[in-house]
């Protein structure tokens, strides 16, 4: 029987890359997200090996109902990839937008907690499972104008570390992936659709792409059972940390 991976935010970027990578590796995929058209496209790609759930991780009640609606043959989730997340705005904290703050906190922290809380008990009862959280280099140290986004990713690290402690008595494994500069729609979302400003983020450097992070996720998932890839920092070659980027 094929293993099952549930991936949040599977409609674009790292989430979509993970869905395709795990599909090609022989997994069945539960893909969640808000974009119905893109989820249906992924379903068309994977056929019977893809099950889609349409919800926003910020809406706890809807997320819980969606997960509880899974058919019996889709409930034994082997890998959970908490990928859904975003950055909004790039302003000093004292000029920050309250709505942007709420969206980042509700998605990056509370949404991740909701999905984890719903899925991990089943993994513990089956004595099998792997949780892979997508954090960020931004969670290691704040960068200029990153304030609240950096704080949410620091929280993801703390939550991941705490979960690893909480399940250490079980065979479950917990992994934190911390990408640096990845060229997806991340910056376009951050700048509220300003394509020119988003494109400037990646000028003068060859950034990572979603497949690079998906490769790391699959590597962690396919490691021998006694090997736990606890944390992985993945940067573009000319990026030293969250704020030092050398551009040509």
pLDDT tens for 144-200 read 999 999 999 999 999 999 999 999 999 999 999 999 999 998 888 888 888 888 888
pLDDT score at 199: 87
- What is the per-residue pLDDT across 43-99, written as a single tens digit (0 to 9) for each? 999 999 999 999 999 999 999 999 999 999 999 999 999 999 999 999 999 999 999
- What is the per-residue pLDDT across 229-244, written as a single tens digit (0 to 9) for each? 999 999 999 999 999 9
**Mean pLDDT, residues 213-229:** 98
Q: Using alpha carbons, select from 232, 238, 209, 225 the residue that is nearest to residue 17.
A: 209
Phi/psi for 2 (5° steps) reads -70, 140
Cβ-based burial of 121 (10 A; exposed 0-12, middle 13-18, buried ≥19): exposed
Coil vs helix vs strand at 97: coil
How many percent of the chain have pLDDT more than 70?
A: 100
Active site positions, annotated: 149
In whole angstroms, give the CA distance from residue 52 to residue 162: 29
**Mean pLDDT, residues 110-128:** 98
- What is the per-residue pLDDT across 122-143, written as a single tens digit (0 to 9) for each? 999 999 999 999 999 999 999 9
CB contact at 8 A, 246 and 46 = no
Coil vs helix vs strand at 127: coil
Helix (H) or strand (E) holding 31: strand 28-33
Return the residue matching tokens 């997320």.
63
Domains and CATH numbers, the chain: 4-234 (3.40.50.720)
CB contact at 8 A, 197 and 191 = yes
């Amino acid at each position: 029987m094929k293993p099952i991976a549930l991936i949040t935010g599977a409609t674009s970027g790292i989430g979509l890359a993970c869905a395709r990578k795990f599909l090609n590796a022989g997994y069945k995929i539960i893909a969640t997200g808000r974009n119905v058209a893109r989820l249906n496209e992924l379903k068309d790609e994977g056929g019977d090996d893809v099950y889609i759930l349409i919800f926003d991780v910020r809406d706890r009640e809807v997320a819980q109902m969606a997960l509880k609606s899974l058919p019996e043959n889709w409930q034994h989730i082997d890998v959970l990839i908490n990928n859904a997340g975003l950055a909004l705005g790039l302003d000093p904290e004292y000029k920050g937008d309250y709505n942007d703050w709420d969206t980042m906190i509700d998605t990056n922290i509370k949404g991740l907690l909701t999905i984890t809380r719903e899925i991990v008990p089943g993994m513990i009862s089956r004595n099998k499972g792997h949780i892979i959280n997508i954090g960020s280099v931004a969670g290691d140290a704040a960068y200029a104008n990153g304030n609240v986004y950096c704080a949410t990713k620091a929280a993801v690290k703390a939550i991941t570390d705490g979960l690893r402690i909480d399940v250490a008595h079980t065979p479950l494994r917990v992994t934190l992936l911390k990408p640096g500069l990845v060229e997806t729609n991340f910056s376009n979302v951050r700048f509220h659709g300003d394509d020119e400003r988003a494109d400037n983020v990646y000028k003068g450097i060859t950034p990572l792409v979603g497949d690079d992070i998906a490769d790391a996720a699959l590597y962690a998932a396919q490691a021998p059972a006694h090997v736990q890839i606890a944390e992985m920092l993945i940067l573009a070659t000319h990026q030293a940390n969250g704020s030092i980027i050398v551009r040509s």
